[in-house]
């Protein structure tokens, strides 16, 4: 089938800070399973390079514009057969920390240089300037870190087709003009029809303007980003390119997120065997130091602690939530101000609450298995994977109806229960009162055993795989290649 080169800043299990990592860890493999010849390129961050056993040195080259020496290391993405290339450049990537921040959560001062190098390397590989013995038909770029790739490729007559997927329009990679100069980007790219954005350099504009097709990760978000409310200043541009935009819903990795086989949880279960979920709840309560009460509804919140995720709404609701018979379990990292407020609440024990600041893959699985509800009051949500993971674990999402949340979660009411389609609770509003009202409604539902049991069944039995979405990507690639003949 097609030869596709995926480019991104993270890919699970090598490196992940959020849903982009999940998608890069599963979509390329799902396409490879349908006989596509897929390769993935990510930066060779220090921890990643150290974790890879005996990589092959596929190529060694220098980026002419910046003089950076690069080795292209070949490995396979663990858990799959996907050939993965690491752009190894120790002066830019050989440090501890995550892709975007240092160990103290401070953004890297040379973020632009780090991702420009990734883009330059992918550009060279895609045109055969760097010999790998393989040329892609399609370069599939993901988020702003890869935005310069379509821009750099745009001038080459014999270039591969380009697709740019927006996982989150709120992150745009905007830097001062000096950075544009420092990166030695071609002068013609400095214009309003190019990378210039209010006299700054915008990486994401490279993807939005120069790619052949734009996708985003849910149909609703594809519509929303063309409006001022969700367009983050780029709605005008997106509206102009409307015909090239489509929304394709993310799937999840059904092997990594499977309560019947999850290596991180104490008791395995599925929709036929849901009683065993209670053992996971007890274990989670023990791990987190919460009261070990089986009948007290446990609400989990596992997110990057940003405004996007509505963490401030949760903080605002805590005094009211303290009056309800619920337990709260919070895991996250992000805005230090939110981190501190949550820690303070936990220390004061205003309610039965446990807060863990940090990033923990095992605990996120244990919370999906052990909680009754999963809170996701996002202001906007391109797709959201956490609510899908939790539905599969029989943990009912309480969400705002935006973006991918609107496309994946169906509110519980007499009609949807009767139809067997109810999978969650929708919050009606963007304030703490609306959040508390939704949680009160959730508790009423929890206390109706038959309704609750139907809800768990329809949430757990939903179809969350990549199957349908991969077909949509194949259709997109096919029509794109046909249009270029
Ligand atoms: P986003 O990509 O906006 O962060 P998603 O819901 O698409 O949101 O994906 C988030 C992913 O990151 C999920 O797999 C979620 O479990 C994970 N995650 C977020 N925060 C943490 C954390 N503190 N520890 C472990 N996993 C986390
Ligand atoms: C982004 C979005 C999230 C989406 C993920 C993967 O980080 O915030 O909604 O699920 O990317 O596409």
Atom of ligand 1 nearest to the CA of 404: 7
Mutation to probe ligand 1, out of 171, 385, 407 (largest number of atoms < 8 A from CB): 385
Provide the mean pLDDT of the chain. Answer: 97
Helix (H) or strand (E) holding 42: strand 37-43
With bands split at pLDDT 50, 70 and 90, how would you rate the model's confidence at 56? very high
Residue 389 has what pLDDT?
Answer: 98
Tell me the mean pLDDT in the region 21-38. 97
Q: Are 358 and 370 in contact (CB under 8 A)?
A: no
Residue 298 has what pLDDT?
Answer: 98
Residue 349 has what pLDDT?
Answer: 80
Closest of 126, 112, 230, 86 to residue 182, by C-alpha? 112
- pLDDT exceeds cutoff 80 at 198: yes
Residue 291 has what pLDDT?
Answer: 95
Residues lining ligand 2, judged by CB closer than 6 Å? 18-20, 23, 167-168, 217, 250, 381-385, 404
- pLDDT exceeds cutoff 80 at 247: yes
Ligand 1 centroid to 52 CA: how many Å?
Answer: 23
Q: Is the CB of 472 under 6 A from ligand 1?
A: no
- pLDDT exceeds cutoff 90 at 392: yes
- Ligand minimally distant from the alpha carbon of residue 389: 1
b/e burial code for range 45-56 (CB count within 10 A of at least 16 → b): beebbeebeebe
Kindly list the structural domains of the chain, giving each domain's residue range(s) and its CATH number in brackets, ordered by start. Answer: 3-251+466-483 (3.40.50.2000), 274-460 (3.40.50.2000)
Q: Token pair 């599963």 is at which residue?
A: 26
Residue 354 has what pLDDT?
Answer: 96
Residue 34 has what pLDDT?
Answer: 96
CA atoms of 359 and 368, how far apart (whole Å): 15
Residue 350 has what pLDDT?
Answer: 74
pLDDT in tens, 202-235: 999 999 999 999 999 999 999 999 999 999 999 9
Q: Is the CB of 455 under 6 A from ligand 1?
A: no
Largest CA distance in the chain: 67
Ligand 1 centroid to 251 CA: how many Å?
Answer: 14
Structure tokens given for 161: 């087709």
- pLDDT exceeds cutoff 90 at 351: no
- pLDDT exceeds cutoff 80 at 11: yes
pLDDT in tens, 248-268: 999 999 999 999 999 999 999
Residue 90 has what pLDDT?
Answer: 97
pLDDT in tens, 419-476: 999 999 999 999 999 999 999 999 999 999 999 999 999 999 999 999 999 999 999 9
Q: Which of the residue ranges 144-158, 340-354, 374-388 would you say has the lowest mean pLDDT?
A: 340-354
Percentage of residues of the chain with pLDDT beyond 90: 98
Alpha carbons within 13 A on the beta-carbon side of 191: 9
Ligand 2 centroid to 401 CA: how many Å?
Answer: 15
């Amino acid at each position: 089938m097609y030869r596709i080169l995926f480019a991104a800043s993270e890919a699970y299990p090598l490196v992940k800070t959020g849903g982009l990592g999940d998608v890069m860890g599963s979509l390329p493999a799902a396409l490879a399973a349908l006989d596509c010849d897929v390769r993935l390129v990510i930066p060779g961050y220090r921890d990643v390079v150290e974790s890879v056993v005996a990589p092959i040195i596929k190529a060694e080259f220098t980026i002419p514009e910046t003089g950076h020496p690069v080795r292209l290391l070949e490995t396979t993405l663990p858990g799959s057969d996907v050939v993965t290339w690491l752009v190894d450049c120790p002066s830019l990537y050989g440090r501890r920390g995550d892709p975007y921040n240092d160990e103290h959560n401070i953004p890297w001062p040379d973020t632009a240089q780090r991702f420009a190098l990734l883009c330059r390397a992918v550009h060279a590989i895609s045109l055969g300037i760097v010999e790998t013995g393989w040329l892609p038909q399609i370069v599939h770029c993901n988020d702003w870190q890869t935005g310069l790739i379509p821009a750099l490729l745009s001038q080459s007559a014999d270039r591969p087709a380009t697709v740019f997927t927006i996982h989150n329009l709120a992150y745009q990679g905007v830097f001062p003009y000096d950075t544009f100069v420092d990166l030695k980007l071609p002068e013609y790219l400095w214009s309003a029809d190019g990378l210039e954005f209010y006299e700054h350099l915008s990486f994401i504009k490279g993807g939005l303007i120069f790619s052949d097709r734009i996708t985003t990760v849910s149909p609703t978000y594809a519509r929303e980003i063309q409006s001022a409310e969700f367009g983050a200043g780029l709605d005008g541009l997106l509206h102009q390119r409307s015909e090239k935009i489509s929304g394709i819903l993310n799937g999840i990795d059904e092997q990594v997120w499977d309560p019947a086989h999850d290596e991180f949880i104490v008791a395995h279960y599925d929709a036929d065997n849901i009683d065993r979920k209670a053992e996971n709840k007890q274990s989670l309560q023990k791990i987190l130091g919460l009261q070990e009460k089986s009948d007290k509804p446990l609400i989990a919140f596992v997110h990057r602690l940003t405004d996007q995720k509505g963490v401030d709404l949760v903080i605002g609701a805590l005094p009211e939530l303290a009056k309800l018979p619920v337990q709260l379990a919070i895991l996250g990292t992000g805005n230090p101000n939110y981190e501190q407020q949550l820690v303070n609440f936990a220390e004061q024990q205003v309610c039965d609450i446990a807060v863990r600041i940090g990033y923990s893959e095992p605990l996120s699985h244990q919370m999906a298995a052990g909680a009754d509800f999963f809170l996701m009051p996002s202001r906007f949500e391109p797709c959201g994977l956490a609510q899908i993971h939790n539905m599969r674990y029989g943990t009912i999402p309480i969400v705002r109806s935006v973006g991918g949340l609107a496309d994946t979660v169906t509110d519980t009411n007499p009609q949807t229960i009767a139809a067997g389609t109810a999978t969650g609770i929708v919050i009606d509003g963007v304030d703490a009162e609306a959040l508390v009202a939704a949680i009160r409604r959730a508790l009423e539902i929890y206390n109706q055993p038959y309704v609750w049991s139907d809800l768990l069944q329809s949430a757990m039995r939903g179809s969350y795989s990549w199957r349908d979405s991969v077909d949509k990507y194949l259709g997109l690639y096919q029509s794109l290649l046909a249009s270029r003949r």
